[in-house]
């Protein structure tokens, strides 16, 4: 069997997506690192609030991802007006989705207060969460423009916007968390305010490129109508995609809640380890996004062989990349946590969690790329059921069993996540290849 990585086709498309995805998580990592200097309680509070805010956020990201394969398919058919009409309808969908995300976060925070978290951690988390929730609308409007551009095959523009926005976010963190110069010392509140400002900039910059730099014809935008058919089509892909991400991330969020019942130190260690693991995960979702684009455009051209080859090449690249990141986590597991905290107990606990992260890196990457590949062929309903089983039926019960019943603590919770990720990766990748074979025979 000849392994064709298709480097020339994949890297120019995937690398900007990966850099952009890592740029999003970089702001969260910077929050954790800079807040960690304030102490264990603020770091644990950011961990708790971030675990809550991330659940609706990833649902929104999944909803927005529904636009990409449809735009890619339209461009494969050489129908640019159809792509603009999808963008306009997708923007309406995403605006309403942001309101749902806000309410969803409120419900989650109300419930978390009854799960045995330390009162001091809950109180600080409340303030930070309110500020982050206010950034949902600009973020979702940014995602509308971003996914449209990526569906067209332009991955560099969203990358630049994300980089500028997140570099600005990190700079504002330094000014507003610590109060440098004339700026106020707001602590974790400053971290939240910096996030709002950065997401507002990214929203405005992305739309300027779409409507002012020829990425979408303004006349087509004005002529396009918001109607039920494209909205239904977007929801048909977007809602299952949103739940795919929410099932996985909520399993990680639940792990934060379970670990939080063990104390502030394990929870802070979880935040450190999850911040590091999120970097490689975002890179994997970037490869998955590239799979969506390439496969979606190939399907628009009715090129089944090209779609399958694109998917295979991106699976291979994912495996190599995630194996390297896993090796990095293992080798430097005792050094990396010091970038976040100076508490030796937190560092030791985080190092143990990074050993588990090493084990599930390839599974985490493969399942992310498989979801993107399946989205490219607009196969989303069964994959959603697969992610539900992997994370809710398998991983979540095991998190409690390993962590509390067996007494393995935070390492047990993360071991349960590794089981769920492995089941998901195997099942989803098999689904993609069987789906391509069915389409070939038909």
How confident is the model at residue 260, as a pLDDT? Answer: 86
Residue 357 lies in domain: 7-441
How confident is the model at residue 3, as a pLDDT? Answer: 61
Q: What would the pLDDT profile of 255-285 be if each residue is shown by its tens digit?
A: 888 998 888 889 889 989 988 898 888 888 8
| Nearest by Cα to 333 from 358, 316, 297, 308 | 358
* 275 falls within a domain: yes
- DSSP class of residue 78 equals T
* 84 falls within a domain: yes
* 426 falls within a domain: yes
How confident is the model at residue 1, as a pLDDT? Answer: 43
Going 134 to 55 to 173 to 130, the CA torsion angle's sign is positive
Residue ranges of the chain with per-residue pLDDT less than 70: 1-3, 25-27, 115, 213-214, 442
* 418 falls within a domain: yes
* 2 falls within a domain: no
How confident is the model at residue 165, as a pLDDT? Answer: 93
* 62 falls within a domain: yes
User: What's the start-to-end Cα distance of the chain, in Å?
Assistant: 25
* 13 falls within a domain: yes
* 1 falls within a domain: no
- Side-chain half-sphere exposure of 235, counting CA atoms within 13 A: 11
Contacts 24+ apart (CB under 8 A), 11-14: 13/153, 13/155, 13/290, 13/293, 13/294, 14/155, 14/286, 14/287, 14/289, 14/290, 14/314, 14/317
At residue 183, φ and ψ (nearest 5 deg) are -80, 145
How confident is the model at residue 41, as a pLDDT? Answer: 87
The contacts of residue 336 (CB under 8 Å, 6+ apart) are: 276, 329, 350, 354
Residue with tokens 């071991």: 415
CA torsion angle for 37, 42, 43, 44 (degrees, to 10)? 160
Our count of domains for the chain comes to 1
* Contact in structure between 295 and 307 (CB atoms under 8 Å): yes
Token pair in block for residue 236: 């048909």
How confident is the model at residue 214, as a pLDDT? Answer: 63
């Amino acid at each position: 069997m000849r392994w064709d990585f298709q480097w020339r086709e994949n890297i120019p498309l995937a690398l900007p997506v990966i850099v952009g995805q890592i740029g999003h998580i970089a702001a969260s990592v910077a929050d954790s690192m800079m807040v960690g200097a304030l102490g264990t309680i603020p770091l644990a509070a950011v961990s708790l609030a971030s675990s809550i805010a991330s659940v609706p956020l990833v649902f929104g990201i999944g909803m927005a991802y529904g636009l990409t394969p449809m735009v890619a398919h339209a461009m494969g058919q050489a129908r640019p007006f159809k792509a603009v009409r999808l963008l306009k309808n997708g923007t309406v969908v995403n605006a309403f989705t942001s309101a749902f995300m806000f309410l969803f976060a409120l419900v989650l925070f109300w419930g978390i207060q009854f799960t045995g978290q330390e009162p001091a951690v809950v109180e600080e988390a409340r303030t930070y969460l309110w500020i982050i929730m206010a950034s949902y609308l600009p973020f979702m409007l940014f995602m509308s423009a971003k996914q449209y551009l990526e569906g067209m095959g332009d991955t560099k523009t969203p990358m630049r916007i994300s980089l500028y926005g997140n570099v600005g976010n990190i700079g504002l963190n330094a000014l507003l968390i610590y109060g440098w110069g004339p700026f106020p010392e707001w602590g974790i509140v400053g971290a939240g305010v910096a996030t709002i400002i950065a997401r507002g900039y990214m929203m405005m910059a992305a739309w300027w490129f779409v409507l002012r730099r020829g990425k979408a014809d303004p006349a087509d935008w004005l002529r396009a109508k918001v109607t039920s058919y494209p909205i239904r089509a977007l929801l048909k892909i977007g809602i299952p995609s949103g739940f795919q991400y929410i099932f996985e991330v909520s399993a990680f969020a639940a792990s934060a809640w379970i670990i939080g019942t063990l104390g502030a130190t394990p929870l802070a260690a979880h935040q450190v380890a999850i911040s590091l693991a999120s970097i490689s995960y975002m890179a994997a979702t970037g490869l998955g996004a590239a799979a969506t684009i390439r496969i979606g455009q190939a399907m628009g051209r009715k090129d089944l062989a090209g779609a399958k080859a694109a998917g295979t090449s991106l699976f291979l690249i994912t495996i190599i990349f995630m194996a390297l990141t896993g090796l990095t986590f293992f080798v430097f597991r005792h050094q990396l946590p010091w970038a976040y905290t100076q508490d030796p107990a937190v560092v030791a606990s985080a190092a143990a969690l990074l050993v588990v992260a090493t084990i599930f890196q390839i599974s985490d990457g493969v399942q992310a790329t498989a979801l993107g590949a399946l989205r490219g062929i607009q196969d989303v309903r069964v994959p959603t059921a697969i992610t539900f089983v992997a994370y809710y039926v398998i991983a979540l019960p095991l998190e409690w069993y390993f962590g509390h019943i067996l007494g393995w603590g935070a390492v047990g919770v993360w071991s349960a996540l590794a089981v769920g990720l492995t089941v998901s990766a195997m099942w989803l990748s098999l689904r993609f290849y069987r789906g391509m074979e069915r389409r070939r025979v038909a």
